[in-house]
Amino acid sequence: NAGVMQNPRHLVRRRGQEARLRCSPMKGHSHVYWYRQLPEEGLKFMVYLQKENIIDESGMPKERFSAEFPKEGPSILRIQQVVRGDSAAYFCASSPWDSRSGNTIYFGEGSWLTVV
Amino acid sequence: AQKITQTQPGMFVQEKEAVTLDCTYDTSDPSYGLFWYKQPSSGEMIFLIYQGSYDQQNATEGRYSLNFQKARKSANLVISASQLGDSAMYLCAMREPSYNQGGKLIFGQGTELSVKP
């Protein structure tokens, strides 16, 4: 079984460009979480999505960041007009059904964004 | 609000010795889950161990065990017989079943463990 797939693994963008990070959840999972990890820090929750719905975006910066999880295809985290402070590792995790407990959350390998 | 605290930014341990990494949490919900992840320098998140709040016994997975003290709200990770490959960042996390938040994980700041030969 394929795990949570993230791509690209590494992305370099110039300031002002757009970054798109993709996440394909595990088969059968319809819930996706995005986390950001700045250097030397723990993971910070950004957004929780179900298919075609944003459930909790309390961790998303108010501007330039958006996320979607369409009915077909991967979840996309989009960062517009990137700045150097956006340089970080972005992790995606997926979960089956509306599982609020238990060991049912699985992480991808992360996408490393570098803004130059 | 939910909170996870790891008070040890860095730890050293001699190879083959045991080490305890501290984690305390704060929640008002009786149902929650606690996780430990290992993050080596390559960056991926490696799941180590899970403890549910209603689990009667402390979780164990090979050389990893979780010292769960519910009344003190602590969930310390114990690594026995440390190996050089254990050198990594260790992240403690809590999952709380908030009905409008879908069970997201809240992470601590992490502890960087270095194993000395």
Would you list the DSSP string of B18-81?
Answer: -EEE--EEE-S-S--EEEEEEE-TT---EEEEEEETT-SS--EETTEEEEEETTTTEEEEEE-S
A86: which DSSP letter? G
B104 vs A91: CB contact, 8 Å cut-off? Answer: no
pLDDT of A100 strictly over 60: no
Q: What is the pLDDT of residues A36-47, one digit of tens each?
A: 999 877 899 999
B 56-85: CB under 8 A from A: none
B25 touches chain A (CB under 8 A): no
- Place B81 in a pLDDT band, splitting at 50, 70 and 90: very high
- Place A28 in a pLDDT band, splitting at 50, 70 and 90: confident
The residues of A whose Cβ lies within 8 A of any Cβ of B are 31, 33, 35, 41-45, 48, 50, 55-56, 58, 89, 91, 93, 95, 98-103, 105-107, 109-110, 112
Buried/exposed code over A44-53 (b: 16+ C-beta within 10 A; e: otherwise): ebbbbbeeee
Q: What is the pLDDT of residues A60-74, one digit of tens each?
A: 999 999 999 999 999
pLDDT of A24 strictly over 80: yes
B106 vs A110: CB contact, 8 Å cut-off? Answer: no
pLDDT of A96 strictly over 70: yes
Q: How many CB pairs under 8 A join A and B?
A: 79
Return d(Cα B110, Cα A80) in angstroms, integer. Answer: 29
The closest CB to that of A101, out of B43, B95, B106, belongs to B95
